[in-house]
Amino acid sequence: MFAVMIVIYMWSFIMGMMGDVVDLFVQSTSGHIRVVNTEYLKREKMLPLNKNIANYQKVLDVVEKTPGVKLVTPRIKFGVLMEREGKNKPVFGIGIDPEKEEQAMNFSKKIIEGRPIMMGKEEANVGALFARDFGLKVGDTLTVVTQTAHGSISAMNLKVAGIFSFGAAAIDRRTFYMPIDKAQYLLDIPNRVTEIFVLLKNENKAPMIAAMLDKEINASGALKYKARAWQEQGFVFLWMMMAKYIYMTIYAIILFFASFTILNTMFMAVMERAKEIGMMKAMGMRNSQVKGVVLLEAAIIGFFSSMIGAFFGGAISYGLSVAGIAFGGGMEGVDMAIPMVMYGKFSLFYIFVGFLMGILFSIIAAIFPALRAAKFEPAEALREI
C-alpha cells in the first residue's frame, strides 16, 4: 500500500516538475525553435550583437509560412552591468514585441505590479527580485548603459512600467524587458535582431521543422542562419530524458523492496498452513491448484492494498498539483530557470498504472512461496496432525 502510494506521489511530482522546468525554458529562453546567426552560436554566452539577423522581416515571413508553425516573434538579447552598492552586477536586457510576447507566454499574466511595456515607448518591465535588489518601483527610472553592436557606449533612461514574476529566481533577479524598437536604437542595430523565437503546434516535431527551416532560410547556400530545436539547446532536454529513466528505476526499486514484505508474508502463511496444504493434496488437489490458491491470495492482498495505496497516492498527487511545493529562493545557485514553486501533475493514468504495478509485484513476490507450497508431501505434512 505504501509502495503504491509513494510511487504515484513521486511519479506525479517528478513529471510535474520536469514539465514546469521545460515549459519555463521554452517560454523564456528557447522557444520550440530559435533562428539565430550561425556565428552567434559560436559565442552565444558573450551575446555578440554584431552577429545578428539582418533584414529579419524576410526571415520572419519564411518562418511564418512554414507548416506547423504557431507563432513567430523577434527578440534581442544583450548584457548590461548594473551598479549596486558600489559593485557591478550583470543582468540581461531583452528587446521584445509586446503584442507577440503576449501570445507567446501570456506576459500580462506575469505582471504583478503596473502594466506591460508598449511599443515605441522608452520603458521597461523588470523582474520582482531585480526590482527589490535595486530598490525600483513602478514609475521609477532605470538607467541602462551598455555597448552597441559597434563597441561604442550607449545609454537610455527607461521608465519602469511594470514588475513581473516568472516564479524563477534566475529570471526574476537578472532580467528586464524593453520594446524591441527602442532596443534596436539603444544597441545601434536598426532592422536587426539577435534571434527569432518560434512556437509550434506540436513541440515534438521541432527537430523536423528546424531542419526544414534550415533549408528554406538558407536557400542561397550561404548557411548564414541556423534553426535550432529546443531539444538541441542547453541540457534541459538531456536532463529530462535521463531523469525519466532514473526515476523509473527508482519506482521499480521501491516496488521491488515492497515485494519482499509480501514475499515474507506469503512464505510465513504457507509454512503455517503446511498441515492444511498436506490435507488438501492428500484429498487430490494437484500441485498447479496449490500454486493457484497461493497466487490468488497474493493477488487479492495486492488488489486491496494497491487500491488503498492508489487512493491516498492520488489524493496526495491532486493536492500537489494544486498547492505545489515551494523551494524558497528557487535554487538560486543554479544558473538555470527553475520555478520557485513546483507543481505535481495529476493524472488518472499514473494512478491506474501504480495500482496495476502493485498487483503485479504482489503476484510476482508470491511465486516462490507458491512453488514451496506445491512441493509439500502429503505424508510428511499429515504426520504433524
Residue 317 above 70 pLDDT? yes
Strand stretches in 38-122, DSSP E: 53-54, 69-84, 87-96, 111-114
Mean pLDDT lowest for which of 147-156, 158-167, 183-192, 264-273?
264-273
> What distance in Å separates the CA atoms of residue 71 and residue 107, rounded to the nearest whole number?
14
Residue 218 and residue 204: Cα distance in Å, rounded?
A: 23
pLDDT in tens, 131-151: 998 889 999 999 898 999 988
Higher-confidence residue of 115 and 325: namely 115
**Residue 235 has what pLDDT?**
64
Closest CA to 174 of 33, 358, 47, 308: 47
Average confidence (pLDDT) over 181-193: 93
Residue 107 phi/psi, 5-degree rounding, is -60, -35
Instruction: Give, in order, the Cα–Cα distances in Å from 200 to each of 34, 107, 206, 367.
Output: 11, 18, 7, 50
Determine the Cα–Cα distance for residues 12 and 18; give it in Å rounded to an integer.
10
- Segment 174-199 shows an average pLDDT of 93
DSSP class of residue 26 equals I
Highest-confidence range of 17-31, 241-255, 311-325, 328-342, by mean pLDDT?
A: 311-325
Lowest mean pLDDT among 175-179, 240-244, 341-345: 240-244
CA-wise closest residue to 295 among 344, 366, 246: 366
pTM over cut 0.85: no
Identify the DSSP state of 342: E
Collapse the DSSP code of 61 into the 3-class scheme (helix H, G, I; strand E, B; otherwise coil) and give the result. Answer: helix
pLDDT value at position 333?
47
3, pLDDT greater than 70? yes
Helices (H), 232-347: 236-272, 274-282, 287-323
**pLDDT tens figures, 86-113:** 667 889 999 999 999 898 888 888 999 9
Q: Residue 71, CB half-sphere, CA atoms under 13 Å: how many?
A: 18
Q: Provide mean pLDDT across the span 232-253.
A: 72
Q: Which residue from 17, 84, 4 is spatially nearest to 236, judged by alpha carbons?
A: 17
Grid cell listed for 276: 492444511
CA atoms within 13 A on the CB side of 341: 9
Calculate ∠ Cα 316-322-325, nearest 5°: 75
The three three-digit cell numbers of residue 19, written as one number: 514539465
Per the listing, cell 521584445 goes with 96
6-61 pLDDT tens trace = 888 888 888 888 777 777 778 778 888 999 998 888 888 888 999 999 888 888 88
pLDDT above 70 coverage of the chain, percent: 90
Mean per-residue pLDDT over the chain, rounded: 84
Task: Give me the pLDDT at residue 157, please.
Answer: 93
Torsion of CA 355, 356, 358, 361, to 10 degrees: -170
Q: Which residue has the higher pLDDT, 157 or 332?
A: 157
Task: Sort strands 123-127 and 175-179 into parallel, antiparallel or unpaired.
Answer: antiparallel
State how far the alpha carbon of 370 is from the alpha carbons of 258, 268, 347, 367, 378, in Å. 18, 11, 35, 5, 16
For residue 334, pLDDT beyond 50: no
DSSP reduced 3-state for 222: coil
Q: Categorise residue 145: left if φ over 0, alpha if ψ from -120 to 50, beta otherwise.
A: beta
Write down the pLDDT at residue 163: 95
